[in-house]
Amino acid sequence: MSLVSETATVPNTVEKLLLAAPRGYCAGVDRAVQTVERTLDEHGAPVYVRKQIVHNRHVVELLTERGAVFVEDVGEVPEGAITVFSAHGVAPSVRTAARERGLQTIDATCPLVTKVHREAARFAQDGYTIVLVGHDGHEEVEGTMGEAPERIVLVQSERDVDELRVDDPERIAYVTQTTLSVDETEAIVARLRERFPQIVGPRTDDICYATTNRQAAVKRLAGDCDVMLVIGSRNSSNSVRLVEVARDCGTDAHLIDNASEVREEWLAGRRVVGISSGASAPENLVSELVDYFRARGVLDISEVDVIREDVRFMLPKPVREFAAGANAS
């Protein structure tokens, strides 16, 4: 059944779509997905991937169809097999376990996450207690804490900061997860600076450019929309933050995996719908959502370009070497 026939009997009040730009894939996600795709092209299936390569169900399903095998732990991978580390990074202990199994590893960790790992390792080597601002249980946080588990403490809120106790308040540093709410993180860091005036931080902001830009675009759109729809999976931290940013602006907002999850009650009486997508959501999902509204008769569709992005990351060295060898032959 077509979208038109499914929706034709439903009264439609939506007249306009506003598409946030930038949205969707960031450079780190694009690099990670390409890493798995090109490794499959070069070596064939199976290619093992520790955890989800990026936090998007559709991406994982498509790569699974091509022959990627996603595992929770490197102990599940056959000895000597090709294994890709996800964009979220891994603790040093994971790398050690992979070496002990003789795995051929390809590291698809986002370079901006690698930057945070290096900062944490440097602060630990210099004898600091490190405060990591992040979400408990997130894979990026687990990987960063693994750099110096005996020296890193996690805080998730200003209240956590108020309750924090450290051995030496004059030897304290902080780093942050890359996909946090910009405003919320600024408040937590400000509270850290109030409590620990001697605290030192990273040379440059840890929250990644894509997270910052997508939140800025949602803020720009929110005031002009009656409701915002953010495409992203539930375990995608940056996607969840986009919904929170829109709601903080006073705009109703919902996280959806794809167009099939749109609910009629969200649209009732609404005229302008804003659309964005998390940094791990492929653009075809946005196109499908736009088609859903076109099928309802919405013709006024505009893209609001807030910030231009031109960031690109090189593929991991083993993948570049595959390509160089193929070109040479």
Q: Which CATH class is domain 27-110?
A: alpha beta
The band of 2, judged by pLDDT with boundaries at 50, 70 and 90, is very low
Question: How many angstroms separate the CA atoms of 316 and 37, rounded?
Answer: 13
The band of 8, judged by pLDDT with boundaries at 50, 70 and 90, is very low
Q: Which CATH class is domain 3-25+209-305?
A: alpha beta
CB 63 within 8 A of CB 280: no
Is residue 140 among the annotated active site residues?
yes
Question: How many angstroms separate the CA atoms of 264 and 116, rounded?
Answer: 42
Whole-prediction pTM: 0.92
Start and end residues for every CATH 3.40.1010.20 domain found in the chain: 3-25+209-305, 112-195
Please tell me the least confidently modeled range out of 33-42, 50-59, 270-279, 318-327: 318-327
96 φ, ψ (degrees, to nearest 5): -65, -45
- Confidence at residue 11, expressed as pLDDT on a 0 to 100 scale: 75
At 54-94, the pLDDT tens digits run 999 999 999 999 999 999 999 999 999 999 999 999 999 99
- Architecture of the domain spanning 112-195: 3-Layer(aba) Sandwich (3.40)
Start and end residues for every CATH 3.40.50.11270 domain found in the chain: 27-110
Question: How many angstroms separate the CA atoms of 107 and 89, rounded?
Answer: 8
Residue 9 clears pLDDT 70, i.e. is over it: no
Length of the chain equals 329
Range 94-111 average pLDDT: 98
- Looking at 6, 76, 139, 140, which residue is catalytic? 140
Residue 38 clears pLDDT 70, i.e. is over it: yes
Residue 7 clears pLDDT 50, i.e. is over it: no
What share of the chain has pLDDT > 70, as a percent?
95
Residues sharing a CB contact under 8 Å with residue 222, sequence separation 6 or more, in sequence order:
228, 245, 246, 249, 250, 251, 253, 274
| Residue closest to 227 by CA, chosen among 3, 15, 8, 26 | 15
**DSSP tag of 258:** S
CB 315 within 8 A of CB 32: no
| Residue closest to 31 by CA, chosen among 300, 314, 320 | 314
At 257-296, the pLDDT tens digits run 999 999 999 999 999 999 999 999 999 999 999 999 999 9
Omega before 92 cis (within 30°)?
A: no
Question: How many angstroms separate the CA atoms of 129 and 150, rounded?
Answer: 9
| Residue closest to 28 by CA, chosen among 253, 185, 152, 213 | 213
Residue 5 clears pLDDT 80, i.e. is over it: no
